[in-house]
Structure 1
Amino acid sequence: MINNKISIKGDPVVDIQRGAIGHRATWTGLTYTKAREAGKAEEAEKFIREAISETGEVQGAAIKSQCKDPQNVTCFAETFLTPNVVKTFEIEFKTKTEDRVDLEFHHCPLLKAWQDLGFDDATCEKLCDIAMDGDRGIAKAMGFEFHLGDTIAKGCSTCQVSFFKNDK
């Protein structure tokens, strides 16, 4: 059972940002489910993943260009995760060093949009993983590794996300 709680309420900027993110999630979710209804789920997933991944790489390149030290994961985190983003997703920093950032997201506005559309838990979990291709693309553009652990869409209490330097 998915429990996508909200504790930060009534912040006008956060509310606007959550609305915009939810609108984007609505487009993606409806695109995928309409394709699935037409028997084209695999094709749609492939195209959506490619587009979201490329979007992440574009965003990652912009973040990298804004970082004073793009090899420093702390600099990346502070550039990518602005105070408004932190409040929007109710992010808790578990680790923040020059080599690694471990985050727990306590709310997901994308997931809320999919839930509001009435999508079942399995569809929400699929769309969540597809959406995470954006973060995977950001990590790739930065030259970092990315790990997705638990997710709210899988019924966990938080989404566990890590960006870290490649040890190779």
Structure 2
Amino acid sequence: MSTNTVQKELDSVKQEWESLKSTSSEKEERSKQMLKSARLKIIQLNDANANLNQQLTELNQRVEAMEMNKGTHTASVLFWISEEGSSRFTALRSQYEGKIARLEKERSEEEREHAAEKERISRENEMLMQKVSLLQRALENKQGSKPSASSSDKVSSEPPPTANIKPMAGSSPVSTKPQQ
């Protein structure tokens, strides 16, 4: 094989290596991001689980306290407590869903208003550009139809131009006195 062919093959292998290296680093970066988001989600779920376990413990303590105070109403109290927790969860859930829906609606309204405002400004800008163009044409037409006012109407501090006239040779005697 010639050195030229070997060089081309070496360049080809280098390009392939760089491509694989780039792809590998991109995949590694995506994997890191996915792992990071998974860890964050696990932390959030663990926090939520701990919160729910704490609420369950509190509810169980309430049940036990009520059992001691009222032995006959234990089943009804337990049912009431579980219903209270469920209804509280449902109420909070519906409250947040309502908030989300309202915020999404406001966002879409804001986007529509922004788009309408942008369109209105664009139309006004176009109309103003047309007016400017018309006014420029009118001004050019006006200036083109009038004679130049700069020379006749102008009052200047310069004296009017004079002709450079030389005296005729025979009309006035010129003395030829020697100068001292």
Report if TM-score (shorter chain) is over 0.5: no
Relative to its length, the structure with more helix (as a share) is 2
Q: Flag the structure with higher strand content.
A: 1
Question: TM-score of the superposition, structure 2-length normalised?
Answer: 0.23
Of structures 1 and 2, the one with the larger relative CO (CA 8 A, separation 6+) is: 1
